Amino acid sequence: MAIKIEKKITGYQVVKPEDKTAQATAPAPVSDAAPMAEVIHMHESLERPETLVGSTYKIKSPLFEHALYVTVNDIVLNAGTPHEQRRPFEIFINSKNMDHFQWIVALTRILSAVFRKGGDVTFIVEELKAVFDPRGGYFKAGGIYMPSIVAEIGATIETHMKSIGLIHDPDMSDATRALIAEKRAAYEAAAKKPAPIAAAPTADLSSFTSSDTEASFPPGATLCSKCNTQALVLLDGCQTCLNCGYSKCG
């Protein structure tokens, strides 16, 4: 019997012989209810589509001779329906550096398996970011402390999950934002900087090497234990973070 499809086709699935037998044993559901969008959740039998969309991030660490390129590919579930959702499906990490090849391959395979398993996969970020290198971490541009290269891979996955809407930043209230801006202005006024470097045409070039980020904090700022950013300054006898607003007096 031919079935005429009158609606727009939003997705399709190949029926396999085992699906047919399963269908034959189970009675077909009565379909007089209002048509609803079929929600596809992630599960192990979800087949990889031919094409996936993704993003590639570059990680440059002083602990590594060459840059790492982290690619996260996403699957779009329920495309075109109100339940549309983009989720990470697989991860690849490439580098010229072969010294770390085996653990990187192992890590990416396990991460991809976790992604495909479905459910809440955002826990991965905290797990990876908590890994520290016994040789010591390093500072990224912008003064953010990375305890290890694995932690930076975790931070990269976090960036990606934020970009696809899987993780949301806790909203900083306007009051907190204003307070930080006020504290920063107070600190800068108190510090009475000699002259802005950018204004001097004969400025030393070395001052331009590392600061290519917009989030720069005053020189001499120390590491904030709350947000892991080098943004803690002493203001009126209180250690104050100019990034997250953390403050401790003593």
For residues 108 and 230, which CB has a smaller minimum distance to Zn ion in the complex? 230
Amino acid occupying residue 247: S
d(CA 130, CA 73): 24
DSSP three-state, residue 216: coil
Between 111 and 180, whose beta carbon lies closer to Zn ion? 180
For residue 153, the SS3 value is helix
Structure tokens at 170: 């806790």
**Shortest CB 144 distance to Zn ion, Å:** 10
**CA 65 and chain centroid, separation:** 23
Q: Which is nearer to Zn ion, 155 or 224 (CB)?
A: 224
Q: Which stretch binds Zn ion (CB under 5 A): 109-117, 186-194, 207-215, 234-242?
A: 234-242
Report how far residue 109's alpha carbon sits from residue 77's, in angstroms, rounded to the nearest whole number: 22
The backbone torsions φ and ψ at residue 195, rounded to the nearest 5 degrees and listed phi first, read: -155, 140
Residue 243 sits in the site that holds Zn ion (CB under 5 A): yes
Bridge partners, 222 (sequence order): 232
| Identity of the residue, 106 or 181, whose beta carbon is nearer to Zn ion in the bound complex | 181
Contact in structure between 124 and 108 (CB atoms under 8 Å): no
CA 239 – CA 172 distance, rounded (Å): 20
According to CB under 5 A, which one of 224, 230, 233, 240 is a site residue for Zn ion? 224
> How far apart are CB 243 and Zn ion at their closest, in Å?
5
Q: Which of 40, 131, 167, 244 binds Zn ion (CB under 5 A)?
A: 244
Tokens of 152: 């930076």
Q: Smallest gap, in angstroms, from Cβ of residue 79 to Zn ion?
A: 39
Check binding of 145 to Zn ion (CB under 5 A): no
Tokens of 82: 């109100």
If one asks whether residue 223 binds Zn ion (CB under 5 A), the answer comes out as no
The tokens 């596809």 sit on which residue? Answer: 40
Residue 241 as a binder of Zn ion (CB under 5 A): the answer is yes
Taking CB under 5 A as the criterion, the residue among 226, 235, 239, 247 binding Zn ion is 226
Is residue 180 within the footprint of Zn ion (CB under 5 A)? no
Q: How many chain residues interact with Zn ion (CB under 5 A)? A: 7
Pick the closer one to Zn ion by CB: 69 or 246. Answer: 246
Residues that bind Zn ion (CB under 5 A): 224, 226-227, 241, 243-244, 246
